Amino acid sequence: MPTYLSTRRSSTVYDSTVPTLRPFRDATGVVVVAVLLAYLLPTQLVFLPLSSLGRPGLVVGLGLLIWWLVTRLHPELATHGRQPMRWALLGYVAALGASYLAGQLRGLPALEQNGADRAILATLAGGGIMLAVADGVLNRERIERILRWLCWASSGMALVALGQFALRVDLTVYMRLPPLLVFQRDPVGFDARGGGGLVRVAGTAGHYIEFSVLMVIGLLIAIHLARFAPTRRSRQLFGALAMVQAAVIPISLSRTGVLALAAAILLLLVAWPLRTSFNVLALGLVLAVVIQVVRPGLLATLRALVLVGNRDPSVQGRLEDYDYVRPYFEGRPWFGRGVGTWLIERYQLLDNQWLLSLVTTGIVGTAALALLLLTGIFVAVRVRLYSSDAADRDLAVTLAVAIAVAGVTAATFDALHFSTYRVALFLLLGLVGALWRITRAARINESGHA
């Protein structure tokens, strides 16, 4: 009986007229490189001729997009079969293209034109990573390989942050790689917050909020690996890495980190077995006690930041942004003022990606972004419902929760401005697409129908 081949490309390619058998490597290795570059190098390091697009992770993403386009031109090099994430991305890119055109029709100053170009190219770079994973990661073992490297990369960022917090030394300033990569702007550094000598740190991320969100996402992946790694030693190792990433979330001193962690826990408690939920909560309580003993006052400061509510100036500023942008939105509600054209140099900083998208890409662009994330969550839920493998089901839940966390926390900072967040988000969407394709093909090959 013929089998459904959407999980892999042919391993046979023909050179000239003589058939030659040689293995065809998939995109896994290059995707791992993109993740390591995005997480382990400071965000401020760029290839200067490309400005902010010269961040290594984005450069690799653009290369992956070219690779994906080339594979689509050859019938034996492209994965076949349906891929919902591909269509969701196409809709998002089309909406941004319409917003870009609306900006051109409005007439853009040079700075805004450059911002629009950078935004489109950055989106294509993220799309390249997503497509390379969704269509170019060929089997379940290679998905696991990407997850393991993502966990290690996230843990590396966490260790840098721990070093910054403990030593009061910004380790990122020593990571410059002249002349290839140079600092486009000053490193993030430290930010005193809460009194008592406490400072917030960001590791290699571009902002303290971005750092906290990335750590929560990394924690989710680490917990999954700690539960389903093939050996006891591996499970213990990833459990330790999960503890490291959980420990650094408080030192970002970010309300967003607390929001992200709370949302993730609430969502996972619904999906996890009772015993797993109890074990994770117990370990979390132990970790909280350890943090309180090692650094008294840290958790109290974090609690105070969360409970201050609307009295906090940063919260008040975010609320005032709605009145500030109202005239801009009402003037161009459907396609916005043009993707990437809201520049801090000309306008007010908006610490809200959804509000920023509404102003720059309009209702259409914002809806397309929401649809992209919701498609990823919906596809992951379908894998959870139809897969019989416990590891696949748990990974589907983990990816759905991680995407939901990324979407919810985007309301607290201009998320897509930060390249590591962008790489992580599109990687998660790509992993959902790859898992859906592989599990669907397995069902078809076993039963003869989807």
Phi-psi region of 178 (alpha: psi -120 to 50; beta: other; left: phi over 0): beta
Work out the average pLDDT over 398-402: 97
Banded pLDDT at 53 (limits 50, 70, 90):
confident
Min mean pLDDT across 108-122, 284-298, 326-340 is at 284-298
Percent of the chain with pLDDT over 70: 87
Among candidate residues 89, 72, 84, the one with its CA nearest the CA of residue 127: 89
Q: What is the mean pLDDT of residues 364-375?
A: 97
Token reading at 387: 């897969």
Own/partner contacts of 301-310, CB < 8 Å, gap of 24 or more, are 301/193, 301/194, 301/195, 301/196, 301/198, 301/253, 302/194, 302/250, 302/253, 302/258, 304/194, 305/193, 305/194, 305/253, 305/255, 306/255, 306/258
> Is residue 166 very low, low, confident or very high in pLDDT (cuts 50, 70, 90)?
confident
3-state secondary structure (DSSP) of residue 433: helix
Q: Angle at which helices 110-136 and 56-72 pack, to 10 degrees?
A: 60
- Per-residue pLDDT tens digits for 24-48: 568 899 999 999 999 999 988 888 7
| Cα 177 to Cα 180, 184, 189, 273, distances in angstroms | 6, 12, 18, 47
Q: Which of 16-30, 131-145, 436-450 shows the lowest per-residue confidence on average (mean pLDDT)?
A: 16-30
- pTM (two decimals): 0.91
Beta bridge partners of 18: 15
Query: Residue 306 has what pLDDT?
Result: 67
**Boundaries of every domain in the chain:** 27-447
**Mean pLDDT lowest for which of 28-37, 72-81, 144-153, 438-447?**
72-81
Mean pLDDT of 233-237: 95
The verdict on whether omega for the bond into residue 179 sits within 30 degrees of 0, i.e. cis, is yes
Q: Among residues of the chain, what percentage have pLDDT more than 90?
A: 53
- What is the spatial distance between Cα 32 and Cα 61, in angstroms, rounded to a whole number? 11
Compute CA 408 distance to the chain's CA centroid, rounded to the nearest angstrom: 13
The answer, yes or no, to whether residue 308 has pLDDT greater than 70, is no
H helix and E strand count, the chain: 14, 6
pLDDT of residue 1: 34
Of 53-62, 130-139, 183-192, which gets the smallest average pLDDT?
A: 183-192
- More confident position, 350 or 25: 350
Question: What's the mean pLDDT when you consider all of the chain?
Answer: 86
Residues of 390-428 as b/e, b for ≥16 C-beta within 10 angstroms?
Answer: ebbbbbbbbbbbbbbbbbbbbebbbbbbbbbbbbbbbbb
Average pLDDT on 362-385 reads: 97
Q: Is the pLDDT of residue 419 over 70?
A: yes
pLDDT at 8 over 70: no
Q: Which residues contact 358 (CB under 8 A, 6 or more apart)?
A: 325, 329, 336, 366
How much is the pLDDT for 4? 38
Residue 245: other Cβ atoms inside 10 A:
25
Spatial neighbors of 162 by CB under 8 A, at least 6 apart, are: 244, 247, 248, 251
Please, which pLDDT band fits residue 239 given cuts at 50, 70 and 90?
very high
Report CA torsion sign: 334, 339, 344, 346: negative
Q: Are 152 and 158 in contact (CB under 8 A)?
A: no
